[in-house]
Structure 1
Amino acid sequence: MKSKVKLAPDQKIIVYYFSGTGNTQIIAKKIVETFNSKGFTATLINIENVTTISIGNSDVIGIGFPIAGFSTYPIVFDFLQKIDTVHGNYAFAFDTMGGTSLWGIMGKLKTILANKGFRTLGFEEFKMPPNLFVKFPENSRRTRVEKGLRRAEDFVNNLIAGDLSWNRIPIVSEVMYRLSHALFSITEYKWHQKILKMKVDTTKCNACGICSSKCPVKNIIVQEKAVIGDHCQYCFRCVGVCPSKAISGIASPRSLHYLAEGAQF
């Protein structure tokens, strides 16, 4: 069922996002730019920089994130828990992915926001270049990004017109969410490295510290070389930002080394 709630330019909008290697960031930027071009006041905020959340400063919030393990990262769920209960504010959401979500986050997120008092407007998924397992040819990556940016503009137009829905598949959504949650629970244990094997090639690492400064969960320290800690959430930003291509893993080899064009970290 479509929301049929039309947005007006006097409504203030804040778009919160998390982005591992830039796909979600560039989509979030396009969404904010499109709102502002249509007379709205929209602001973009990276959830890594959020210490307090004042929803009272906005009439509408957007939440964007990458798909990970059919759901999303613990850092996103931690952010959601910080949001205070509201009374009738609107919310929309979007995700980016290289593969599929299998609806593992759509239903759970709607439930979380509804329980906090939000009226949900719409949800959209954007297929973008993957940052793990395979490297797309340059022209294929560019095509996906261009299509994603066009769809971001359409997403905003549909939000404004009240022409979006936020559906969920009750059993499937819950099952995929629980599976994802179980998969990420291994990041609490030291043996997770034995499974996914994120590692630093000490012959390439020059201890520049870029990976450490960019890690969203402060999981990398630099001694004589970079050392990956025990709380990695596998966003693969460190792989993408390392100028020496010294960091890799089973899911994200050095040959991939992906950062979205135009993303800034």
Structure 2
Amino acid sequence: MNQQTVYIVYFSPAGTTRMVAQALAHEASTAGYPVVSLDLASRSTDVKVVQSRISKGDILFAGTPVYANHPVPVVMDFLAGLSETEGAYAAPFVTFGAVSSGVALREMATMAKEKKMTVLGGIKVAARHSMLWQSDAPLGKGRPDEKDMAEVARFAQAVMGKASADGKAGPLPEDALNYQRQEVQEAAKAAGLHVIKPMLLPFDVNIDACTQCGLCVENCPTANITLEEGPVFADRCVVCFNCVRVCEPGAISSKVLPFIEADLHKRLDFFREPAETVAFV
């Protein structure tokens, strides 16, 4: 049994980042590493306990979907809450809905470096766009596929191979995750969850249609919804639209949803990022 522990910490409202996390866990377990997996949407795990246990020699795979060119804040909050741990290793992973992976990998790697961790790699994984579940031809349809997941497996093996080099693992080159064009980087500075939330919220609520089934509460990854006469929203929403997606009676809906697909297709011309899974090691 390997003395190093592999930590896999992720946030996955739509499930594709979880798929990647599970593949990473499988590779680590197969290689003989003890594995600790933490879904940041889980309400049963003490995040601070996991943060406190990551130590020298351990490997942290931290994953997020890309929202508005950036990591979801809860993932960055996890990284920011780590103690400085020189000798620990980090390898961020992101899923992106075939439009843009933004600057998410770079931002996560930068935060890990601030915690004195050695960044060994990063991977961006093409996925079906989570906002297009109603579309017949969504961006990223069928992704991640078998080829994508094979690349995830190779990435995990490469990172673990580097980390096993008796403390001599070389870090990822400084500019390896700085792959976006300057125009995209500038656009990312003006983007973010705080920018898009006012555009996408509030959701429309039809109390008369609410059956009190609780699916919106169960599927909200930030525990943002409570049920009274109908769903009531707090201020922790990350606009994943899970509540809209699972509400079959239509008690929760969105006026902007019908326009999102056309808007995303327009953005393709600007970002010009191939819908490919790419590992950096």
- Structure 2: tracts of 5 or more residues without a match: 163-169, 262-281
Query: Which residue number corresponds to residue 260 of structure 1?
Result: none
Match of 1:86 in 2: 85
Which AA in structure 2 matches 1:226? P
Range with bigger deviation, 108-117 or 147-156: 147-156
Superposition deviation, residue 231 in structure 1: 3.6
1:222 aligns with 2:240: no
User: What is the CA–CA distance in structure 1 between the aligned matches of 2:171 and 2:156, rounded to whole Å?
Assistant: 10
Q: CA RMSD in A?
A: 3.1
Normalising by structure 1, we get a TM-score of 0.76
CA distance in 1, matches of 2:206, 2:46: 33
Cα deviation 1:74-130 (Å, max 9, x = unaligned): 222222221111112101010011123354222222211111100001000111111
Q: Paired residues, what number?
A: 240
Aligned pairs for 1:24-63 (under 5 A) are 24-48=17-41, 49-52=45-48, 53-54=51-52, 55-56=54-55, 59-63=58-62
1:151 aligned partner, one-letter code? E
Q: SS of 1:64's equivalent?
A: strand
Corresponding residue SS for 1:67 = strand
Q: Which amino acid is the alignment partner of residue 24 of structure 1? A: T
Distance 1:46 1:144 in 2: 19
Please list, as runs of the form range in 1=range in 2, the aligned pairs for 1:151-170 lying within 5 A after superposition.
Answer: 151-162=151-162, 165=172, 167-169=176-178
Which residue number corresponds to residue 239 of structure 2?
234
Q: Is residue 126–residue 148 contact of structure 2 (8 Å, CA) maintained in 1?
A: yes
Task: Report how far residue 223 of structure 1 moved.
Answer: 1.1
Q: Which runs of 5+ in 1 are unaligned?
A: 1-7, 257-265
Kindly provide the CA deviation profile for residues 192-225 of structure 1, in whole angstroms up to 9, marking residues without a partner as x: 2x64442334454211222123323222121111
SS of the equivalent of 2:8 reads strand
The code of the aligned residue for 2:194 comes to: F
- Which position in structure 1 is the counterpart of 2:272? none
For 1:248, the aligned partner's letter is S
Q: Secondary structure at the match of 1:65?
A: strand
Indicate conservation of the 8 Å contact 1:16/1:64, yes or no. Answer: yes
Equivalent pair of 2:225/2:232 in contact (CA under 8 Å) = yes
Deviates most, 205-214 or 107-116: 205-214
Q: Aligned pair 1:19/2:12, yes or no?
A: yes
Instruction: Output the TM-score relative to the length of structure 2.
Output: 0.73
Give the % identical residues.
24
RCO greater where, 1 or 2, for CA within 8 Å and sep 6 or more? 1
> In the alignment, what sits opposite 2:122?
123
